[in-house]
Amino acid sequence: MSSPLYARYPFLEAARQAVGELGVDLETLIADGAPAVERGRKRVERALMAGRVDAEDPEAWRDEDELLSYPIARILVSLLDSGPAIEKYAAAEAKTAVERLEADFAAGDDGLKSTTSPRVDRETILEELGLTDTVVADRETVGQSNREPEWFRISVGTYLQLTSGARGDEWRLVNRAVDGGEVRIRREELFVLLRTAIRRRIAAGLPFEGLTEGEGIVEPLESDLGELRRLLSERTVVGRIDFVNRDLFPPCIENLLQKAEDDIELAAYESFTLMAFLTGIGMEADEIIAFCAESSLNAETIRYQTAYLRDDRGTQYPPPSCETLSAYGICHNEDNHWKDAAHPLEYYQAQLEAADEELSDWREEQTTA
Ligand code: SF4
């Protein structure tokens, strides 16, 4: 396998060996501020902000930067000292990896044997994840063509391991076809299970032990860490908001909504900000889908992003602060209202509290319409 492939799948054991064979000393690389360090920080930042890790500007990075950014990202996320951040990071790596796998398998179906982007095949990924003996192509569909099979069989034990915690009745064993100790699954379902296996592989061993702030390898990473901590710490002091009144939304959010309603696709950080705000004011995914029905936002993206933003304890990721939104060019601080609130949720709560008229919740209007 070659370096471009490792750059796309840096969690593979062969990729780890390739890093060693490059003869690069990570400590020197970090001390020198090599491009891989910036890419490593962006990798974690994108994982936390957008739930994926692919570069927004792929042509800006060499394969080597991509490959080396992975161990650096793991160091950075370890230093964040946050369990949820590690979970989000591992989930984002897995999501991007599985999207690439789906593309690679589809290219194999199409018989694209010589593309410029080297592919990983099913045997390699199954072996890597220790699934070679427990996931096999379904006997009835093997040999019908050169295409990847549509059905697979997976041992019950592995199936139960990989579906533990999965949401949805369709994953319950009682709802599956089980034969000879194996569960029959569709190709799309195999990708879901591979995502879980990759996520667990990536989270294993994190956080790294023995990293000390301000010392050794960590010292040159202080400013990158500061950036990431700022993103994580942008939790607001507002209480729980559960009221939807668009007239009182802050200008930054209204601008994003209007942009989406003009059918302009939002950048990842814009869509994250909007979803984080709407989730932060108490809206469920279905409500947001209805609220944004006439916009460039699609239901699938909304569902994914809102699931990513929420956990069982409520909203985990609030929208970024006014300062960060200003740096991203989303905030224009109309009428200098930043002086009254440092956060879009704070601004909205203040607007709600200051309103002297009877306010209506958009959700009530929907049920009475
Ligand atoms: S100051 Fe804050 S609330 Fe106002 S537009 Fe900027 S980011 Fe939004």
Q: Which residues 6+ apart lie within 8 Å of 77 measured at CB?
A: 44, 47, 85, 86, 89, 206, 207
Kindly indicate the confidence band of residue 154, based on its pLDDT and cuts at 50, 70 and 90: very high
Q: Which of 347, 348, 351, 352 to mutate to test the pocket of ligand 1 (most atoms within 8 A of CB)?
A: 347
- Indicate whether 311 pLDDT > 60: no
User: Is 145 domain-assigned?
Assistant: yes
Question: Is 154 exposed, middle or buried, given 0-12, 13-18 or 19+ CB atoms closer than 10 A?
Answer: buried
As a whole number of angstroms, the distance between CA 131 and CA 155 comes to 10
As a whole number of angstroms, the distance between CA 253 and CA 233 comes to 20
Q: Which two tokens stand for residue 11?
A: 């969690």
Strand order in the sheet with 182-186: 135-137, 151-155, 182-186, 178-179
Q: Which of 324, 331, 336, 349 to mutate to test the pocket of ligand 1 (most atoms within 8 A of CB)?
A: 331
Higher-confidence position of 3 and 225? 225
- Indicate whether 340 pLDDT > 50: yes
Least-confidence region, from 11-25, 133-147, 328-342:
133-147
For position 143, what pLDDT does the model report? 54
Say if residue 277 is in the same domain as residue 193.
no
Q: Whose CA is nearest to atom 2 of ligand 1?
A: 322
- Indicate whether 205 pLDDT > 80: yes
Write the pLDDT tens digit of every residue in 59-73.
999 999 999 999 999
Say if residue 189 is in the same domain as residue 270.
no
pLDDT-above-90 percentage for the chain: 48
Instruction: For tokens 């599985």, name the residue.
Output: 98
337 within ligand 1 shell (Cβ under 6 A): yes
User: Is 302 domain-assigned?
Assistant: yes
Q: If DSSP codes are grouped into helix, strand and coil, which group holds residue 185?
A: strand
Question: Is 4 exposed, middle or buried, given 0-12, 13-18 or 19+ CB atoms closer than 10 A?
Answer: middle
Kindly indicate the confidence band of residue 221, based on its pLDDT and cuts at 50, 70 and 90: very high
User: Is 190 domain-assigned?
Assistant: yes
Number of domains in the chain: 3
Higher-confidence position of 51 and 41? 41
User: Is 245 domain-assigned?
Assistant: yes
User: Is 283 domain-assigned?
Assistant: yes
Q: Which domain holds residue 225?
A: 1-81+209-233
347 within ligand 1 shell (Cβ under 6 A): yes
- Indicate whether 1 pLDDT > 60: no
Least-confidence region, from 161-165, 175-179, 316-320:
316-320
Quick check: bond before 251 cis, omega within 30? no
For position 258, what pLDDT does the model report? 97
338 within ligand 1 shell (Cβ under 6 A): yes
User: Is 105 domain-assigned?
Assistant: no
- Indicate whether 132 pLDDT > 90: yes
For position 353, what pLDDT does the model report? 87
For position 76, what pLDDT does the model report? 95
Say if residue 123 is in the same domain as residue 198.
yes
Higher-confidence position of 66 and 167? 66
User: Is 95 domain-assigned?
Assistant: no
248 within ligand 1 shell (Cβ under 6 A): no
- DSSP character string of 138-168: -TTTTTS-SSPPSEEEEEHHHHHHHHTT--S
- How far is ligand 1, taken at its centre, from the CA of residue 350, in Å? 12
For position 87, what pLDDT does the model report? 86
Atom of ligand 1 minimally distant from the CA of 325: 7
